[in-house]
Amino acid sequence: MKRITTLLFAAAFLAVSAFSAFAAEKLVVYTSMKESIIGSLKEAFVKKYPDIAMDYQSAGAGKLMAKIATERQSGKIMADIIWTSEVPDFFNMKAEGILEKYESPELKAVINPFPDFDGSFTAIRLGTLGIAYNKRHVKEAPTQWSDMMKPEFKKAFGIANPALSGTSYMSIQLLVDKFGWEYIENVHKNGARMGKGSGQVIDDTASGDLLACIGVDYIVNEKIKKGADLALVYPPEMLVIPSPAAIFKGTPNLDAAKKFVDFLLSEEGQKILASQGTLPVRKGIVSPAEFGLPTSEQAFERGIKIDYQHILSAKESTVKKFTDIMMAK
C-alpha cells in the first residue's frame, strides 16, 4: 500500500510539474545592462507576470552580437529580446529583417529619440555620458569638454577604446561632429590615454591612475554608491545615447516579449531604471537627486544631435582615425 501511495504521489507530482512547464510562458533576454539593472527589472517583472519564466544573459554588446550571429548560422536565435546601447546594431538588424515591429501602448508617455520610428526597436533609457573625475585629486570640477586640454589633466584623461565599446564610439563620433577632429588631436597632445572598456577607464579614474574620463552615468553612479571618490559632471553639450530594445522576428514567445517591452516602458519599469542612476525615457519620472542627473527632457534638449545614418556609415573610419591619433607618438 505504501508503495502504491508513493507511486501515485510521484505521478501526481510529475503531472503537476509537466503542466506548470507547459503552462508557463518563456522569455529570454540578451542585454548589455549590468546585473543590478536587469536583475531588479526581472524581479519586478516575474512578480507581475508569475506565469512567465524569464531568463537573461548579461554581457557586452559585442559578445551578444557574436552569439546571435552564431545562432543565426545554426538556424535559431535563442533570445526573444535584445537590449543594448549599441544603436548601430539595431539599424543593421532592422535592415537585415530580423526584428519584429511592435509599437507598445506605453509609447504615448515616452520620449522617442529615433526619427522614422516604425516599431522595429524602441528606446528604453537615455544613457548620458559626461566627465567623471576623481574628487580627491581634482580640486576644481571641470565644466567644459575643453577643460581636458588644461595642464592639470595632462596625461590623466581617459577615453575607452571605441573598437571595444560601442558607447565610446558613439561618444567620440558626437564630440567629433560637434567640435571636429581638432578636439581629439588636442586632448591627445595633452596626453589623453585610450583605455579598454568604459568600466575600466572609470575604475582607473577612481583609483587615481587617471584624473578624469568620459564616464557612463549608471557605471559612475554605481561606483559612487559603493564609496568611490568620484563625481560626474555634464558640459553644456551633453552626450545622450539611447539604449534600445527589440523583439526578434519569429520568436515563439511573442506575447511574453511584448509584455516585457511594455513593462520596461511602464511607470514601474522606468522608476526602477531611474533608481539605478540612469535616465528613463518616460516623461515625468525624475531620477533621485543623489545622482545629479538632468531630467530626460532636459538631456534630450541639451544632447548633441545624432545623425544615425552617419553614425552607421562612419564607424570603421572613425575608429581607425581615433586609434591612429591616440597611438601616435
Residues 101 and 158 in one domain: no
Residues 183 and 318 in one domain: yes
Q: pLDDT value at position 109?
A: 96
Give the mean model confidence (pLDDT) for residues 184-205.
Answer: 95
Grid coordinates of 234? 555634464
pTM of the predicted structure, to 2 decimals? 0.85
Q: What is the DSSP string of 72-97?
A: HHHT----SEEE-S-HHHHHHHHHHT
C-alpha–C-alpha distance, residues 316 and 254, integer Å: 34
Contact status, residue 193 vs residue 168, Cβ threshold 8 Å = no
Query: Domain for residue 247, yes or no?
Result: yes
pLDDT score of 140 more than 70: yes
Q: pLDDT value at position 220?
A: 94
Q: pLDDT value at position 20?
A: 40
pLDDT score of 48 more than 80: yes
Residues 192 and 109 in one domain: no
C-alpha–C-alpha distance, residues 10 and 171, integer Å: 58
Domain count for the chain: 2
Residues 318 and 205 in one domain: yes
Query: Domain for residue 170, yes or no?
Result: yes
C-alpha–C-alpha distance, residues 194 and 2, integer Å: 71
The residue range of the domain holding 230 is: 127-239+305-327
214's enclosing H/E stretch is: strand 212-216
Q: pLDDT, tens digit, for every residue of 262-294?
A: 999 999 999 999 999 889 999 999 889 888 888
Count the neighbouring beta carbons within 10 Å of the beta carbon of residue 326.
17
Instruction: Read off the DSSP letter of residue 294.
Output: P
Query: Domain for residue 298, yes or no?
Result: no
Contact status, residue 62 vs residue 139, Cβ threshold 8 Å = no
16 confidence band (pLDDT: 50, 70, 90): very low
Residues 57 and 139 in one domain: no
Residues 32 and 116 in one domain: yes
Query: Domain for residue 189, yes or no?
Result: yes
Query: Domain for residue 299, yes or no?
Result: no
- What does each C-alpha distance from 248 to 19, 22, 98, 255, 287 come to in angstroms? 27, 22, 6, 12, 30
Pick from 94, 56, 59: nearest CA to 78: 56
Residues 14 and 68 in one domain: yes
Q: pLDDT value at position 164?
A: 85
Residues 172 and 85 in one domain: no
Query: Domain for residue 140, yes or no?
Result: yes
CATH of the domain at 99: 3.40.190.10
Residues 132 and 268 in one domain: no
Give the mean model confidence (pLDDT) for residues 120-142.
Answer: 96
Residues 160 and 109 in one domain: no
Residues 188 and 312 in one domain: yes
- First and final C-alpha spacing in the chain: 86
